Structure 1
Amino acid sequence: MYVVSLSYIVPLEEVEPHVPAHMAWLEQSYEAGIFLASGRKVPRTGGVILAQGERAALERCLREDPFAVHNLAAYEITEFVASKTVPGLDALKE
């Protein structure tokens, strides 16, 4: 499993016009079974994605994000193995 941290590298005003395309890309990634959860950072300096699958496939997917295509965000991928979860999230354990 992976935690992807997106950090905006341009002012938020430059990011805003690309949010609808980014949201469509997120939806496609959920439908493909890659993403498990996502959301904005607080304060709004980027976002966080919880993902699964092969790292190479995740990297390809991230390159297709409109935020990446337009050089609006930097991405940090952290791999981890969930060994303990709360009830209801057992499927995340490896």
Structure 2
Amino acid sequence: MKFFLIEIEYIVPIEKLDEVTPAHREFLQVQYDKGILLISGPKVPRVGGMIIAKSSSQEELQDLMKDDPFLKQNCAKYTYKEFAPVKYQPFLKDWLGI
């Protein structure tokens, strides 16, 4: 399994983003329910967001995330950064699959 930090950059006014946010969060909840996502939320100040996810490959994760309403409605750009967790809180062991 591979692990990713997904950095989100908003590219529309916040008013447009607010219209799409409920659908975006519903999409994310499905991924949480599948165990793909660990944590997500907006940056402070609210110019984008961050997601920590796992997948067998970056391509698989990008394919999954293309259905995110933020991407489908051209509200944001996503950047994927793979990382290798070597230190972690013990309660993450199951999610990490270690």
In the superposition, the TM-score normalised over structure 2's length comes to: 0.86
Unaligned runs of 5+ in 1: none
Cα distance in 1 between the residues matched to 2:34 and 2:93: 21
> Any unmatched runs of 5+ in structure 2?
none
Question: 1:85 & 1:21 partners in 2: Cα distance?
Answer: 31
- For 1:43, give the aligned amino acid: P
Question: What is the alpha-carbon root mean square deviation over aligned residues?
Answer: 1.5
**Number of matched pairs:** 94
Of residues 66, 69, 76, the one that matches 2:69 is: 66
Normalised by the length of structure 1, the TM-score is 0.90
Greater shift after overlay, 61-70 or 27-36? 27-36
Offset, 1:88: 2.8
1:23 corresponds in structure 2 to 25
Distance 1:87 1:19 in 2: 32
Q: 1:82 to 1:47 in 2, by over 3 A?
A: same
Q: In the aligned structure 2, how far is the partner of 1:85 from the partner of 1:32?
A: 21
The DSSP-based 3-state class of the residue aligned with 1:48 is: strand
Identity %: 38
Hey, what does 1:78 align to over in structure 2? 81
Which aligned runs of 4 or more in structure 1 are off by greater than 4 angstroms?
A: none
